[in-house]
Structure 1
Amino acid sequence: MKDNEYLNMFFAEAKEYIEVLNNGILTLENNSEDKETIDAIFRAAHSLKGMAAAMGFENLTELTHKLENSLDKIREGKISVKTEFIDLLFQALDNIQYLVKAVEDNGGEEPEDFDIDVLVAELIAYTENSPIESKSKAQKSSEDLEDFLTDSEKEALLDKKKDKERVYQIKAEIVEEEFKSVRAFMLLKKLDEIGQLFKSNPTKDEIENSELDICELNIIALSWLDSEEFKTELEAQQSVNLINLEELQNSQLEINQESTAKKADSKKTGVSSFNSSSTVRVDISKLDTLMNMVGELLINKSRLESLNIKKTKFTEIMPQLDRVTMDLHHIVMQIRMVPVGVMFSRFPRMMRDLSNKMNKEINFVMTGQETELDRSIIDELADPLTHLLRNAIDHGIEKPAQRKANGKDEEGQIELTAYQKGSEIIIEVKDDGAGIEAAAISKKAVAKGIVEEEEIQQMEKRDILDFIFHPGFSTAQEITDVSGRGVGMDIVRSTVKKLDGQISINSEPGKGSTFKITLPLTLAISQALMVKILGDIFAIPLNSVSETLTIEPQNIKKIRGMDVIVLRETTIPIVSAASIFGNEKQKTFKNSAKDLSVVILKSGERKVGLVVEQLLNQQEIVIKSLGKYLQDTRYISGATIIGDGDVALIIDVRDVVSK
């Protein structure tokens, strides 16, 4: 059994490197000349191999080593990047991911029955039998230089170059099997003796401070020696084979504007490498504990405030305590917030594989990856989004021939978008596919006995579309291994609801569908409006409150037997909070002798006026779960402790609005 501390560190870092590899290989498929991406994924593979070797995982080390070799051949320009090679790289990455997961599940031991020989043989066969198409020496040299030197480095090189100095690009191979780092370092030292080293790959520091398996060096150097003398000096170096030596002209170092534009485009889809930074890795359970402690601090601060002590010392301390508590809460919230891009990054690979499997052309676009959400919500949201995206590609997007016949582009568009709106995060899955026929949903719902024919005639389109989320509901004409069994969509809704969010559908037949998920920024601490109902205090999440108002009973109208008010030319139904929570006699308002306090609640596109006994105040609350025995209690989503130590129930606005 290996040390748990090192194992946990290995698993965390391995998953990050696998993510870099996944994104990088996807980028490489679309832009095989992206030097930055190639370098990033090579470093990720190299680091992963080193970690696996250090932990003693033999199969994982062997597989990552072969993956690293393949990527190194790409980096050196020795093999061409084709679709079949990308598939092979992904196959290797899938096996690496499986091995990491298996080791984690087995308590730090590799599975004994896992065979990697066939895959390793395929990787070796491809890298040996698929050389890159030959190019002219001048063309290849120019491309190598464009890849190796940035525009700013070219400018710096021209500034540094003196009148009589020459600029050389050197490619050298270390031929000795042992002490390669030493031989490489001696070569760079020699260059500083006969001129000046400008740039090398690997760098001087990397060679000096690591045990890299160095095969080739790419170098830019300045020297006063002519090319023959310079070459003679280098060839005299022991165990160094000079592959190529070229004197660069000033014209080659001038900035190519077209190349600059291409590099800028490639960076948009490139992947980031793991560099050392001023961050530390913290277990999520520790953040949960810290959040709970901040919650307890907030509760006790509220209780202190409710004591209403008039002593001078107390009144001086309370504002300071309030400020420190709020600052601490804000910092803890920031620590828990994670960009949704962490979760989004797993989807491009999935969409690529599904589109190939189903013979559909898909342009998958992601925006808003920088939008931040509480880590606990992000962990739960991955599966629902996976279901929505799989459905979009399976049910939503048509086959290319069908799209062409319908006057559409053969390539379907699927968009995954995240953005913040007030104190809520919106995540949308949108496609330009076939859309959803409300009539087909109605027919299926009646056939399954979910709703009566007469009732469905009175329902709005959005309510009919909501039947998609009913357990076992599916309109698929054929069952595939992607979707169509009527499972998944009910899980999507229940998971989103568990996260105190809501999901809605907007669809137009022939034009496409949009699934919109609305979520709170965090599940732990929230702003709430405190109200009194039947003598007890309740909390209403502030992000679900549109406004509050006082109305006279005579302004209440009746439409189809429902009480409504007209607010700024909008008809809004109103319900009695007292009748919801136990007093059936307070269903009507006409006989009320006093004005009514109303909270206008919003959920999605709907609004409802909730009549309460009294509006109290707005305050920050710590949300507590009701536990598994009470979690499905209608109209209640949780509880909180208020200033006097009593428990206040939190109203589930979605249930009230859908009443």
Structure 2
Amino acid sequence: MKIDRSEFLNEYTDEAQELINKFSDSVRQLSKVNTDSELIELILRTLHTLKGTSRMMGFSSIEKVVNALEDVYKKIQSGNIVPDDNLTYICTGAANILGDCIAGIKKDSKEKVEKFEPLVKNLELASLGENFETDFFAGETDCSAQEDETDFSSVQTIRVGLGSVDSLVKCFDKIITNEFRLKNSVCKIEELSAAEQKYAQMFKTIKEDMNMLERQIFYTQEQIISMRMFPLDMIMRTLRHSAEEEATRIGKEIDFEIPSADISLDKLILEKLPGIIIHLVRNSIDHGIEPPQVREQLGKNKRGKISIEAKQVANRINIIVSDDGQGLDFDKIRKKAAALFPSRIEEISSMDEKSLQQFLFVSGFSTLEKQTSLSGRGVGLDGVRKEMDKLKGRIRIFSERGKGTSFELSLPMSLAAQSGLFFTASSKKFLVFSHYVSEVVSCCESKLIQLRNGTFLPLRNELLPVYDSSIFFGKADTQNSRKKSRSIVVVEYLGKRLGLLVDEVTNYITVLVKPLPPALKKFRAVQGVVFDEDYKIVPIIHIPDLMSRLNAIKDFEVKKIEVDNRKKEYSVLIVDDSHTTRQIEKMILETEGYAVCEASDGIEALEKLKSGSFDIVITDIKMPRMDGYILIENMRRLDATKNIPVIVISSVYEEDTKKRVAECGAQSYIVKSDFERGNLIMSVKELLNGI
């Protein structure tokens, strides 16, 4: 199956233009020194990357021009020809023509190739040291002149590195914290000076200025955070293609409704979202949608329907994956749960449907009798739950037997800023994310019911289990514990609810979250920290871990259920200096369920191989700092990596190169001009089957 390269067109044109500019600058620099082996090597690497990416994207005319330029600089490298003004002129002219071609591709996806034929012909003459013509450049403008004539008034976008945006976010974190402290100090001074009438107007003015400053700061914060957000539609088209392919593979007729949505999400969330959604879609295809003949017998349209809808609710995004299939079979779920947890048969037999849903997220749980190519291994929804927890998200299930199932994902728009409730317990301050909070109830202790298995609060036709926060956060404050009325924060996770009896809920606020330091990464009870108005560190309570500790969700025990036929998730390391190439290969592999990590050259790849565990490596040959040959040779010398299979994907197609790659220890070689989804996946599967 061919790759839909249009998804990567903008990324390709941006990267190609950067490479062309880099080449043009290097050519001019070389003309001043004539011999500089490092500079010539840089030019050849730049051309190699441009050629390989163009070949993968199917732009063969660009590939021919770049190949001719490569021949010229290989001859310069070997000393067969010496660069002069004429050679510099034709090479910089070639850069201008390539730049025009890239601009044309960006505009209408078509190569502008009118001058390619004479250009390639004369570059070939130049590489042979023969006389060549440059008359065909008539009308072309020199790169530097072209830059001087650029109409900057028409430029609507600039490229900003995510590192710069992250630095701005961190700076604003400090500004907001200082603004909180200043506001708090002003309030305290105002209280102390309330009796002095002469200060009243002054403090009124200061307070108004503070409120205006606060509004401006938060508005600017929103604008900065939005700089690292990307439209949700970027992933939706790819998801449709993947879903249709999965349905065709198992012979089900399904219509997919994925309407466009004018919604943007944090890049970090958007990177993880395709894997989450495709798991849910696979679940609907395999578990939900009935075969065509069964649907017709039930009076349904023989073509099933799966829809993916996205909508914004306040500062969160809700994504709903729905199908019109058979719905959840709770009798099967109950039976399977009882078989997996025999010690809890009595409890499971009395559970309502909402409580039974939690078992679907247990590792190893599946109601399918047999594995299929899509599911039956019990790893899908467990993986979804884990990823949603990492993204500070929430997942809910709505199902009706015979009519279908919906999975609702609730995600923050950004991982940087989160909404939450500050509360105090045992004279300490804590924060809980608002997406876990269902409601806050003010309650007298006389309303609590003491039963044999715990404390409960009657709340709208349910008995809500209630736990005093002092059992987690230390000895209760005597003064607060004597209050006639205390607050109960009702939290919910995977359909299970409980109440936390706290001293006081102080305020609802949007804050910038700071991750835990590396030494505390494994401390799961705390999800991160924030600063309050007094610049004091406030821990964020990790509700899933807290509920697990309370045994409120007994499925998530430390001991995982091992499934004999559980499929291993293989990890792949992609090594290529072209970002576009890495993204194409990553998309193909992740669609097939592989975990993918990236490196831009051999040195970075070796560092990742030493710190992580990989089942296979896919690498280019020509890269900066360390090329593919040396990378493979180093891998074969190390005990930890000597047996890892290696696939080489390169634009070089000479037999000598293939032979050298094999001698270094690579097991497979794919030329980028022959590169397709099928031959990459086939090579990966063949090599991994031998592990």
Instruction: Please tell me the TM-score bracket, short chain as reference.
Output: 0.5 to 0.7
How far apart are residue 456 of structure 1 and its match?
0.9
Letter matched to residue 169 of structure 2: M
Task: State the 4+ residue runs in structure 1 displaced beyond 6 angstroms.
Answer: 44-53, 66-69
1:243 matched residue in structure 2: none
* Residue matched to 2:242: 350
Distance 1:492 1:369 in 2: 22
Letter in 2 for 1:395: H
Does the 8 A contact of 2:394 with 2:435 survive in 1?
Answer: no
Distance in 1 separating the partners of 2:261 and 2:272: 17
Match of 2:165 in 1: 287
The answer on 1:19 being equivalent to 2:7 is yes
Residue in structure 2 matching 1:458, options 350, 356, 362: 350
Matched, 1:445 2:337: yes
Q: 1:470 to 1:600 in 2, by over 3 A?
A: closer
RCO higher in 1 or 2 (8 Å CA, sep ≥ 6)? 2
1:271-420 aligned within 5 A: 278-308=156-186, 309=189, 315=206, 318-367=210-259, 369-420=261-312
Matched residue, 2:506: 616
- Cα deviation, 1:145-183, whole Å, max 9, x if unaligned, reads xxxxxxxxxxxxxxxxxxxxxxxxxxxxxxxxxxxxxxx
Asked if the contact 2:12/2:53 (under 8 Å) is kept, the reply is: no
Counterparts of residues 513-592 of structure 1 (less than 5 Å)? 513-558=405-450, 561-566=453-458, 572-583=464-475, 592=482
Q: CA deviation at 1:357?
A: 1.7
* 1:553/1:592 contact within 8 Å kept: no
Mapped pair 1:644 → 2:531: no
Q: Output the CA distance in 2 between the equivalents of 1:288 and 1:16.
A: 32
Pairing 1:172-187 to 2, within 5 Å after superposition: none
DSSP 3-state at the match of 1:346: helix
| Contact kept in structure 2, 1:563 and 1:575, CA below 8 Å | yes
In 1, distance between residues paired with 2:260 and 2:275?
19
Q: Does 1:474 align with 2:341?
A: no
Of structures 1 and 2, the larger Rg is shown by 1
What is the deviation of 1:511? 2.6
Q: 1:609 and 1:482, CA in 2 relative to 1: closer, same or farther beyond 3 A? A: closer
- State the distance in 2 between where 1:46 and 1:651 align: 43
Aligned length: 426
- TM-superposition CA deviations, 1:537-587 (whole Å, max 9, x none): 11233444455453322222346744333456665443211223244999x
Matches of 1:632 and 1:513, distance apart in 2: 35
2:273 is paired with a residue of what secondary structure? helix
Against the structure 1 CA distance between its residues 303 and 405, is the aligned structure 2 distance closer, same or farther, given a 3 Å change threshold? same
In 1: Cα distance, 2:261 partner to 2:61 partner: 29
SS of the residue corresponding to residue 258 of structure 2 reads strand
How far apart are residue 323 of structure 1 and its match?
3.4
Q: Matches of residues 74-113 of structure 1 in structure 2 within 5 Å? A: none
1:621 to 1:434, Cα distance in 2 relative to 1, 3 A: same
CA contact (8 A) 1:49 1:65 kept: no
- TM-score, normalising length: structure 2: 0.54
Deviations 1:479-521 (A, max 9, x none): 2333322223211110001111122223334332212212223
Which 10-residue stretch deviates more, 453-462 or 301-310? Answer: 301-310
Q: Secondary structure at the match of 1:468?
A: helix
C-alpha change, 1:326 and 1:16, in structure 2 (3 Å) is farther
- Range with bigger deviation, 355-364 or 48-57: 48-57
Partner of 2:227, secondary structure, is: helix
C-alpha change, 1:51 and 1:353, in structure 2 (3 Å) is: farther
Alpha-carbon deviation of 1:346? 1.2
Kept after mapping to 1: 8 A contact 2:466/2:500: yes
Runs (5+) with no aligned partner, structure 2: 21-46, 64-103, 117-153, 191-198, 553-691
RMSD: 4.1
- The 5 Å alignment of 1:118-197 reads none
Contact 2:393 2:435 in 1 (8 A): no
Question: Could you tell me how far apart the structure 2 residues matched to 1:464 and 1:351 are?
Answer: 28
Aligned equivalents of 1:650, 1:53: Cα separation in 2: 45
CA 1:356 to 1:214, structure 2 compared with 1: closer, same or farther past 3 Å? farther
CA gap of 1:422–1:609, structure 2 versus 1, over 3 A, is farther
Give the conservation status (yes or no) of the 8 Å contact 2:239–2:274: no
Partners of 1:52 and 1:281 in 2: CA distance: 11
Matching residue within 376, 379, 382 for 1:490: 382
Q: 1:52 to 1:289 in 2, by over 3 A?
A: closer
Contact 1:381/1:496 (8 A) holds in 2: no
For the Cα contact (< 8 Å) 1:398–1:433, is it kept in 2? yes
- The one-letter code sitting in structure 2 at the alignment partner of 1:298 is I
2:278 counterpart letter in structure 1: T
Q: Using the alignment, how far apart are the partners of 1:305 and 1:16 within structure 2?
A: 54
- In the TM superposition, residue 350 of structure 1 has moved relative to its aligned partner by 0.8
Task: Give the superposition deviation at 1:49.
Answer: 12
Q: Work out whether 1:595 is the aligned partner of 2:485.
A: yes
**Counterparts in 2 of 1:16 and 1:570: CA distance versus 1, 3 Å:** same
Where 1:484 maps in the other structure, the secondary structure is coil
Change in 2 beyond 3 A, CA 1:618/1:387: closer
CA contact (8 A) 1:46 1:65 kept: no
Identity %: 28
Determine if contact 1:423/1:543 at 8 Å carries over to the other structure. no
Instruction: Tell me the alpha carbon deviations over residues 195-220 of structure 1, each in whole angstroms, 9 at most, x when there is no partner.
Output: xxxxxxxx9xx99x9945499xxxxx
- The answer as to whether partners of 1:52 and 1:58 remain within 8 angstroms in 2 is no
| Greater displacement, 565-574 / 349-358 | 565-574
Are 1:344 and 1:369, in contact at CA under 8 Å, matched by a contact in 2? Answer: no
Residue 616 (structure 1) shift = 2.5
1:1-41 CA-to-partner distances (Å, cap 9, x unmatched) read: xxxxxxxxxxxxxx9963177xxxxxxxxxxxxxxxxxxxx
Give the corresponding residue for 2:515.
625
CA contact (8 A) 2:417 2:510 kept: yes
Contact 2:54 2:60 in 1 (8 A): no
Q: Conserved in 1, the CA contact under 8 Å of 2:317 and 2:410?
A: yes
Which TM-score applies when normalising by structure 1? 0.56
Cα contact 2:355–2:495 (8 A) shared by 1 = no
Partners of 1:48 and 1:64 within 8 A in 2: no
Aligned partners of 1:478 and 1:484 also within 8 Å: yes
User: Is the Cα contact below 8 Å between 1:299 and 1:642 reproduced in 2?
Assistant: yes
Task: Please tell me whether the aligned partners of residues 427 and 477 of structure 2 are also in contact (alpha carbons under 8 angstroms).
Answer: no
Q: CA–CA distance in 1 between the matches of 2:326 and 2:16?
A: 49
- Cα distance change on mapping 1:629 and 1:449 into 2, 3 Å: farther
Alpha carbons of 1:358 and 1:214: their partners in 2 closer, same or farther (altered >3 Å)?
farther
